[in-house]
Copies of this chain bind each other. A is one copy, B any other.
Amino acid sequence: MQNKSWRKDKRSVIIEAAAHVFATRGYAGTLIADIAAEAGVGKGTIYEYFNSKEDLFFAVFEWFVRATEADVKVSIQALGGSASERLEALSDSLMKSWLQMMDMFSLVMEFWSASASAHMRDRFKRAFREGYSDFRQIVSSLIRDGMQRGEFRPEVDSESVAAALVGTWDALLLQGWFDDNFDPVSTARRFMGVVIRGLAAEPEDT
């Protein structure tokens, strides 16, 4: 009755198990046997669904990107209010949802690293380029929206600000990863205050 969904399910099971193990032990430190054990399948089964360790890693990456994108889109949709409020809410929501899965952050670092390694560079680099570009577009259009509403100064370069904000979020999580005492959420929130003030149009002084 559910036969057809079996295969897909097992593929997902393996991907999620792999995500967990890769996040914990890193790419090089991960054994296919570990993933198999974590997924509750035999070693050989993994090769029924993926051609190589590297392919599996990339599949984890794709799964991860999709999940993250979905997350961002959901966050955006839920936003209301002024552009400033929406920007702050987005920042907050992203940082919080990431904090809840901070163990997954090491996966991101593995992905970065993969995109630097000669062997996997190509596919990862392209995917990151596109992912970042998409994300910048989303934030950029949010900022342009604020300009059109007269909330933000029109002379600001929305693309640059978007790129910087996207980067800031990444990098605050990175610092949070290194330092348990560092709080990315409140740091981001305070910084957003400054940025939004920097973006704000001069109050009309009639």
Q: List chain A positions with a Cβ less than 8 A from chain B.
A: 23-29, 105-106, 109-110, 112-113, 115-119, 125, 128-129, 132-133, 156-157, 159-161, 163-164, 166-168, 170-172, 174-175, 177-179, 182, 186-188, 190-191, 193-199
A174 to B164, CA, bound (A): 11
Set B28, B110, B167: member contacting A171, Cβ < 8 A: B167
A6–B109 CA distance with the chains assembled, in angstroms: 38
Min distance, Cβ A128 to any Cβ of chain B, angstroms: 4
Contact of A199 (CB < 8 Å), options: B113, B171, B178, B194: B194
State in angstroms the CA–CA spacing of A113 and B166 once bound together: 20
Instruction: Decide: B163 and A187 in contact? CB cutoff 8 A.
Output: yes
Bound-state Cα–Cα, A118 to B22, Å: 10
Question: Is there contact, CB below 8 Å, between B157 and A190?
Answer: yes
A193 CB to nearest chain B CB (Å): 8
* Partner of A128 from B125, B168, B178 at Cβ < 8 Å: B178
B117 engages A160 (CB within 8 Å)? no
Measured between beta carbons, the chain B residues less than 8 angstroms from A179 are 129, 132-133
